[in-house]
């Protein structure tokens, strides 16, 4: 499916830095093949830290977390 965003502007340096930080937080959270409620909350706080949510941040969460959960490469660990 092609998604067009005609009003999309290039990311600012601060937004790029936020995206890199989010990627690092997600990588640490999923390194063991499980994701805990605390880790999901940490990811959520990282996304909202600058007061805005970028489409790219949501895409990163989908790609690195949701797709892996759906395929079984990652599992929830709500016991922690």
Q: What is the pLDDT along the chain (80 residues), one digit of tens a residue?
A: 556 666 677 889 999 999 999 999 999 999 999 999 999 999 999 999 999 999 999 999 999 999 999 999 999 998 75
Q: Is 36 a domain residue?
A: yes
Q: Is 30 a domain residue?
A: yes
| Dist. CA 65–CA 80, nearest whole Å | 18
Q: Write down the pLDDT at residue 78.
A: 80
CB 38 within 8 A of CB 80: yes
**How many domains does the chain fold into?**
1
The separation between CA 75 and the C-alpha centre of its own chain, rounded to angstroms, equals 15
Q: Is 21 a domain residue?
A: yes
């Amino acid at each position: 499916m092609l998604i067009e965003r005609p009003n999309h502007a290039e990311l600012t340096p601060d937004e790029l830095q936020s995206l890199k930080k989010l990627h690092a937080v997600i990588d640490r959270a999923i390194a063991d093949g499980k994701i805990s409620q605390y880790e999901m909350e940490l990811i959520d706080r990282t996304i909202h830290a600058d007061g805005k949510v970028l489409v790219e941040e949501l895409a990163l969460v989908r790609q690195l977390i949701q797709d892996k959960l759906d395929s079984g490469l990652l599992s929830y660990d709500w016991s922690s």
